[in-house]
């Protein structure tokens, strides 16, 4: 990845415009000069006519407060703050807290060499087989030929991928056809059994349950011990299938068929504290050399609200959004003039292939800035009715789905005290881009420009 980033940088000459290792701590708008003043921790003050916040959806790690963490004798790290030189698991006793994408990657890798891996699971994740393949040179050439078409298709699909949800309802096909479809999607691997499934998998309980039962059948076939099977893949789902992000696994279920891996369900025993030797639960002490906190992020809004951004009415973004997110198209928010957001809340973001979401929304940002330049505007703000309307629209779309039935980061529900609300735009990338196009053709409806 790093050599690819270097290549892109050289090709496009980006780094001359980038100040690395610079944390923006504060931002406030100077109304007299119509410009933002940014304070950084390391490199002093910057002034800018516009700010575009591209802080990503997972840049603020969340680590639960557990008593005694500082007393631990071994290595303890959040996965997002992992030591750059790596951590050697060889012959070590490894504890992993969390079973999302990060947790299972740590568990899978550690299980190859660790003396023991113990995974602490709060909610079973509905993992899908990643389906890694090794491509030959000829495969690569063939794929490169397909790239222009595949890239183009991204804007036409719900999740910004080159596959899409099936337009037919999962109820309008025979049981046999549904099963065949599920088999085909399963064999395709990756997210196919999620974002390539029947479109009403996210809104119809019956279709959703059929998908869960199929997942259960495939998954349970890989787990030998029936007690373990019930923990990893319970007969009754903890929440509807796919409304929490399914992680992609390679050999995760198989590690528990080895002697050196244990799954601790936090439904059976909960964590009391950390001591120098390891983790104390309600059932005893688990001794560790390494503890990985794979406990996720204050997702989507956390990267934005951790900067002290002060709006024109003196309210910070954090204060404003403590009552729930309000934005116009996920791009801008009232009283924060000349500030645009990409890949943040109330946009396709977490329901979308990341690069597609960032690139297409990036184009919306550029179009807005060009509109200002072409009309010689020096300031924009957002009408409060526009952000209230967009919020209601997002909430209405969400209410018609099964997403609110899970305590996921999509819903802000993984962080204690954060309002539980849909943080994504649940209408899919094409509908989102249509909404933006409608805004533009109606004179950038909702934006208020001034010279
Ligand atoms: P995720 O997917 O948010 O996973 C975090 C995991 O940590 C999840 O299994 C949580 O359980 C668990 N968690 C969080 N707090 C606790 C506490 N207090 N005790 C035990 N377990 C806890 O983060 P990842 O880093 O794996 O992946 C982030 C995204 O990156 C991913 O979705 C992809 O888009 C890429 P829960 O399920 O909430 O019960």
Closest CA to 308 of 40, 34, 18, 52: 40
- The residue among 193, 202, 235 whose CA lies nearest residue 404 is 202
Per-residue pLDDT band at 222 (split at 50, 70, 90): very high
Q: Same domain for 266 and 146?
A: yes
| Span 117-137, average pLDDT | 96
Site to substitute for ligand 1 among 57, 67, 77, 98, most atoms within 8 A of C-beta: 98
pLDDT at position 96: 98
The mean pLDDT value for 143-155 works out to 93
Mean pLDDT for all residues in the chain: 97
**How far, in Å, CA of 70 to CA of 77, rounded?**
11
77 is a domain residue: no
Return the SS3 of 148: helix
The rounded Å distance from CA 55 to ligand 1 centre is 19
Mean pLDDT of 402-428: 97
- The arithmetic mean of pLDDT across residues 342-348, rounded, is 97
The pLDDT of residue 302 is 97
Give the chain's domain count: 3
What ligand 1 atom has the least distance to the C-alpha of 414? Answer: 38
64 assigned to some structural domain:
no
| 393 lies in the same domain as 419 | yes
- Residue 95 is assigned to a structural domain of this protein: no
Asked if residue 74 belongs to a domain, the reply is no
Distance from the CA of 100 to the center of ligand 1, in angstroms?
A: 5
76 alpha carbon – ligand 1 mean position (Å): 17
Distance separating alpha carbons of residues 368 and 444, to the nearest angstrom: 8
Which pLDDT score, from 0 to 100, does residue 260 have? 97
pTM of the model: 0.95
Indicate if the pLDDT at residue 411 is higher than 90: yes
Q: Which of 277, 293, 309 is the last residue of a domain?
A: 293
* 169, 193: one domain: yes
Atom of ligand 1 nearest to the CA of 350: 34
Residue 165 has what pLDDT? Answer: 96
SS (H, E, C) 149-212: HHHHHHHHCCCCCCCCCECCCCCCCCHHHHHHHHHHHHHHCCCHHHHCCEHHHHCCHHHHHHHH
- 305 shares a domain with 173: no
Q: How far does residue 129's CA lie from ligand 1's centre (Å)?
A: 18
| CB 349 near ligand 1, within 6 Å | no
Mutate to test the pocket of ligand 1, among 190, 294, 296 (most ligand atoms within 8 A of CB): 296
Residue 215: is its pLDDT beyond 90? yes
> Which tens digit of pLDDT belongs to each residue from 64-105?
999 999 999 999 999 999 999 999 999 999 999 999 999 999
Q: Is residue 273 part of a domain?
A: yes
151 shares its domain with 257: yes
CATH classification of the domain holding 409? 3.50.50.60
Average pLDDT (24-42) is: 95
Could you say which of 293, 323, 338 is where a domain stops? 293
DSSP tag of 246:
P
Q: Is the CB of 341 under 6 A from ligand 1?
A: no
Ligand 1 midpoint to CA 267 (Å): 16
- Closest C-alpha to 125, from 289, 9, 263, 242: 242
- Is 86 within a domain? no
* 350, 405: one domain: yes
Instruction: Calculate the CA 210 to chain-centre distance.
Output: 25
Residue 89 lies in a domain: no
Residue 329, domain member (yes or no): yes
Return the bridge partners of 78, or none: 293
314 and 438 share a domain?
A: yes
| Domain match, 212 and 250 both | yes
Residues 376 and 289 in one domain: no
Q: Which residue has the tokens 């019956």?
A: 206
Is 101 a pocket residue for ligand 1 (Cβ < 6 Å)? yes
pLDDT > 70 in the chain, percent: 100
pLDDT, tens digit (0-9, with 9 covering 90-100), for 255-295: 999 999 999 999 999 999 999 999 999 999 999 999 999 99
Query: Span 422-445, mean pLDDT?
Result: 98
Q: Whose CA is nearest to atom 15 of ligand 1?
A: 295
Output the pLDDT for position 255.
Answer: 96
pLDDT value, residue 343 = 96
pLDDT for the residue 42: 87
Which of 102, 106, 293, 408 to mutate to test ligand 1, by most ligand atoms within 8 A of the CB atom?
102
Torsion on CA atoms 82, 342, 200, 152, rounded to nearest 10:
-100
Residues 6+ apart with CB under 8 A from 69: 76, 274
Say if residues 292 and 106 touch (Cβ distance below 8 Å). Answer: yes
> What's the CA-to-centroid distance between 426 and ligand 1, angstroms?
21
Q: Are residues 207 and 252 in the same domain?
A: yes
Percent of the chain topping pLDDT 90: 99
Best substitution site from 118, 414, 418 to test ligand 1's pocket, by max atoms within 8 Å of Cβ? Answer: 414
How many A from CA of 60 to the centre of ligand 1?
A: 13
CB 348 within 8 A of CB 364: no
In this prediction, residue 103 carries a pLDDT of 98
CA of 310 to the centre of ligand 1 (A): 30
Q: Cα of 239 to ligand 1 centre, how many Å? A: 15
> Mean of the pLDDT values across residues 131-143?
94
Alpha-carbon distances, residue 264 vs 54, 95, 226, 270, 311 (angstroms) = 37, 10, 15, 9, 46
> 300 CA to middle of ligand 1, Å?
14
Which atom of ligand 1 is the closest one to the Cα of 407?
38
Same domain, 209 and 159: yes
Averaged pLDDT for residues 287-309:
98
Q: What is the pLDDT of residue 101?
A: 97
Average pLDDT (49-60) is 96
Residue-range definition of the domain harbouring residue 303: 299-450
Q: What secondary structure letter does DSSP report for 90?
A: T
Query: Where among 293, 312, 335 does a domain terminate?
Result: 293
Q: What is the pLDDT of residue 401?
A: 98
Tell me, yes or no, whether 257 and 305 share the same domain: no
């Amino acid at each position: 990845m790093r050599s690819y980033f270097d290549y892109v940088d050289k090709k496009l000459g980006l780094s001359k415009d980038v100040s690395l290792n610079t944390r923006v701590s504060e931002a406030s708008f100077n109304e007299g000069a119509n410009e933002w003043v940014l304070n950084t921790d390391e490199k002093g003050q910057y002034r800018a006519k516009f700010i575009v916040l591209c802080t990503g959806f997972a840049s603020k790690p969340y680590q639960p407060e557990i008593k005694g963490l500082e007393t631990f004798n071994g290595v303890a790290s959040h996965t997002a703050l992992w030591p750059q030189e790596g951590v050697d698991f060889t012959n070590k006793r490894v504890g992993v807290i969390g079973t999302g994408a990060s947790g299972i990657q740590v568990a899978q890798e550690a299980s190859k060499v660790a003396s023991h891996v113990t995974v602490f699971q709060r909610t079973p994740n509905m993992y899908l087989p990643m389906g890694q393949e090794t491509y030959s040179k000829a495969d690569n050439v063939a794929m490169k030929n397909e790239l222009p078409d595949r890239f183009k298709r991204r804007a036409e699909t719900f999740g910004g991928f080159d596959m899409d949800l099936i337009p037919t309802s999962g109820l309008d096909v025979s049981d046999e056809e549904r099963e065949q479809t599920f088999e085909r999607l399963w064999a395709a691997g990756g997210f196919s059994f999620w974002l390539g499934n029947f479109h009403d998998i996210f809104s119809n309980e019956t279709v959703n349950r059929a998908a869960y039962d199929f997942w259960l059948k495939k998954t349970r076939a890989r787990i030998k011990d029936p007690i373990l099977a019930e923990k990893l893949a319970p007969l009754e789902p903890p929440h509807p299938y796919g409304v929490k992000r399914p992680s992609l696994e390679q050999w995760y279920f198989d590690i528990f068929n080895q002697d050196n891996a244990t799954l601790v369900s936090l439904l059976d025993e909960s964590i009391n504290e950390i001591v120098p030797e390891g983790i104390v639960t309600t059932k005893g002490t688990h001794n560790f050399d390494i503890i990985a906190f794979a406990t996720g992020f204050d997702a989507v809004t956390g990267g934005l609200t951790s900067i002290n951004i002060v709006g024109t009415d003196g309210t910070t973004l954090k204060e404003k959004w403590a009552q729930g997110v309000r934005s116009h198209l996920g791009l801008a928010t009232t009283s924060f003039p000349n500030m645009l957001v990409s890949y943040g809340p109330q946009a396709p973001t977490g329901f979308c292939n990341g690069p597609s979401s960032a690139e297409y929304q990036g184009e919306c940002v550029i179009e807005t800035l060009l509109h200002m330049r072409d009309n010689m505007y020096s300031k924009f703000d957002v009408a409060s009715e526009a952000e209230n309307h967009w919020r209601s629209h997002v909430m209405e779309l969400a209410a018609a789905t099964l997403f609110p039935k899970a305590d996921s980061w999509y819903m802000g529900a993984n962080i204690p005290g954060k309002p539980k609300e849909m943080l994504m735009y649940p209408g899919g990338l094409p509908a989102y881009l249509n909404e933006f196009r409608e805004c533009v053709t109606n004179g950038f409806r909702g934006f208020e420009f001034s010279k």
